[in-house]
Amino acid sequence: METATTISAVRERVRRWRAEGRRIAFVPTMGNLHTGHVSLIEAARSHGERFVASIFVNPMQFGPNEDFAHYPRTPAQDARMLAEAGCNLMFMPEVAEIYPNGSERATRVAVPGLSDTLCGEFRPGHFEGVTTVVAKLFHIVEPDVAVFGEKDFQQLTIIRRMVTDLCMPVTLIGAPTVREADGLAMSSRNQYLTDDERRKAPLIHQTLSAAVERLRAADKDFAAIERVGTDSLERSGLRPDYFAVRRADDLGPPDADTRHFVVLTAARLGRARLIDNLQLAL
């Protein structure tokens, strides 16, 4: 596996592969890789012939009181995991390489509406940071295919909209959420949990599953399903930002004709803010 820290080095490498007729698959990450990320690389392998992964903790997507400074950074371990997963090129830029004029006043890419609901309501500016950095990474790598985890369902929906609206020539693949044996979705932020919090955390998946079962049984009282989900998280000491039943295609409110649902939640547990979701197609 090669490592690049500059945009010009990535472009040079990728353009040579492209000249050889290779299909390029790309997995953007913020590092601190775990099995969930490896599954993204594995998904990328079935869609491309050369694999690029980026490791970049993007300051623009963190709010002033969020965990940018403390976000776990494990570059040596990440490089080892990527090499083992068959990655060909790891792009690990400094902040100044991506934001030469600083991230505060940089040109931005925004997807209004979709970015303002759910997590967007509680993390103002977060998705604008995500779409800006992903657009930049797409311009740098120019992948044929890019893979994102479905755990970040809203993020994936927003990036899909950006790619459509800006006519970006990239195919997006959503990779299923990878879970611990007790159902907890894998996340770098799980390591913020104390032992006691870690024991409570699987309740997020259990509560989402209970909501999905009600939808499967043709329960159309979406407000009641949301209320029960919120209450059950709160009763166990979690602090949900939201517990929402939405249409899976555009995150709008469902109605009696909706067939493809997603139930999403974000809940705080100690220092961690955990997100998860489950889809249901009837």
Query: Which residues are known to be catalytic?
Result: 37
Per CB under 6 A, the segment of 9-17, 76-84, 127-135, 273-281 that binds ligand PAF is: 127-135
Determine if 78 is a binding residue for ligand PAF (CB under 6 A): no
Among 14, 41, 130, 204, binds ligand PAF (CB under 6 A): 130
DSSP annotation of 186: P
Determine if 145 is a binding residue for ligand PAF (CB under 6 A): no
Determine if 276 is a binding residue for ligand PAF (CB under 6 A): no
For the bound state, the minimum distance from the C-beta of residue 61 to ligand PAF, rounded and expressed in Å, comes to: 6
- Give the CA radius of gyration of the chain: 19
Determine if 29 is a binding residue for ligand PAF (CB under 6 A): yes
* Residue spans of alpha helices (H) in the chain: 7-19, 35-45, 75-84, 95-98, 119-122, 126-141, 153-165, 195-200, 203-216, 222-235
- SS3 call for 77: helix
Q: Strand 239-247 and strand 89-91: pairing?
A: unpaired
Determine if 58 is a binding residue for ligand PAF (CB under 6 A): yes
**How is the beta sheet containing 171-175 ordered, strand by strand?**
2-4, 89-91, 50-55, 24-29, 145-149, 171-175
Determine if 93 is a binding residue for ligand PAF (CB under 6 A): no
Size of the site for ligand PAF (CB under 6 A): 10
- Strand pairing partners for 272? 269
Determine if 154 is a binding residue for ligand PAF (CB under 6 A): no
Determine if 265 is a binding residue for ligand PAF (CB under 6 A): no
Closest to 263 measured CA to CA, from 249, 242, 281, 243? 243
Determine if 118 is a binding residue for ligand PAF (CB under 6 A): no
Residues in CB range of 100: below 8 A, 6 or more apart: none
Nearest CB to ligand PAF, comparing residues 30 and 215: 30
Q: Contact residues for ligand PAF (CB under 6 A)?
A: 28-30, 58, 61, 130, 133-134, 152, 155
